[in-house]
Homo-oligomer: A and B are copies of this chain.
Amino acid sequence: MQTVRNDIHNSGIPVLCQSCEARHQGICGALTPEQLTALSKHTRRVRREAGQELIADAMPITSYANVLRGVVKLTKVLEDGRQQVVGLQFAPDLLGRPMASESRVTAETASDVELCMFPKPALEALMRDGGPVEHRIMMQALRELDEARDWMVTLGRKTAAEKVASFLYLLATHIDPTENSAVAAFDLPLSRADIADFLGLTIETVSRQLTKLKADKVIEIANYRHVNINDLAQLRVRCG
C-alpha cells in the first residue's frame, strides 16, 4: 500500500479528480485524499443530453451524482399531468435525496449535463461517521431550503411580469456569480415550457412577458435562447 506517489502536488489524489472543477467544492471538498481515492474507485463520469430523466419520482435511489456542468431540473407532477419545477441544480450540487430510500422528485437534465455518479452505498459510507461530509450535505439542504422559500414568495404572490423578471434575475445572478456588473448575458438553460412550469404559468404567458421586457428595452433576445440584460437594476425593480 501507498506504493503510490507523494510527488509534488495533489499527492495521492486520483487523476480523474485532479482535473475536476468540483474537486474542492461540494461533497468532494470535504474528503481526505484517502477518502477521495476510495470513492473514485466507484465513480463514473457521465454525459447526458438535454431532456433525459435521471431519477424518477417515488423510485428507489440507487446512486448519487455531483453535477459538474449544465442544469438539472427537479419536478413534481399531479395526477392529471400538471407539472411544477421545484428546483434547479447547478455545479457542484449533489443530486439525489440523502437519507431516503425513495426520491421525492423527478430529476431531468434541462441542458446538456455532465455528472460524476457514484453508488448509494459509497456516499453512505462517507456519511456514516458524521463529520465533514454530512456537514456539507446539511449546508446544501439548508441553502436549498432558503432558495425554495424564496421561490414560494414568487409563486404565491408575484404577478406574471414579476415572475418572469425574477426568473431572469435568478439566472443572471446564478450563472456567473463572479461578475458583479450592471449587465449580463447568457443562454437560457430552460425551454419556454420548463420556464412556465418553474413559474406556475403557461408558455403563452411566459412568451408574452418576455416580449414585453424586450419591447421595454430591458432585455434583448437572440435566437429564442440567448438573453442580453442591458440594465440589471431595471430588471431587479421589476421583480416586485
Contacts and interface: CB of A to CB of B under 8 A. Distances in A.
Interface in A145-171: 145-146, 148-153, 155-158
A46 to B, nearest CB: 25
Nearest to A87: B149
A236 B141 CA distance: 29
Contact of A151 (B79, B152, B240): B152
Interface string A44-76: 000000000000000000000000000000101
Given A130-B135, A200-B157, A148 B150 contact: no
A97 interface: yes
Contacts of A230: none
A134 interface: yes
Interface string A71-103: 000101011101110110000000001111000
Contacts of A38: none
A45 B105 CA distance: 38
19 contacts: A74-B149, A76-B149, A84-B152, A98-B138, A99-B142, A104-B146, A134-B135, A137-B138, A138-B138, A138-B141, A141-B141, A141-B145, A144-B145, A148-B152, A152-B152, A152-B155, A155-B155, A156-B197, A157-B200
B157 A82 contact: yes
Contact of A153 (B84, B98, B100, B142): B84
A131 interface: yes
A32 to B, nearest CB: 15
B157 A84 contact: yes
Contacts of A153: 76, 78, 84, 86
A149 B85 CA distance: 9
Contacts of A84: 152-153, 156-157
A235 interface: no
A199 B155 CA distance: 10
A154 to B, nearest CB: 9
Contacts of A233: none
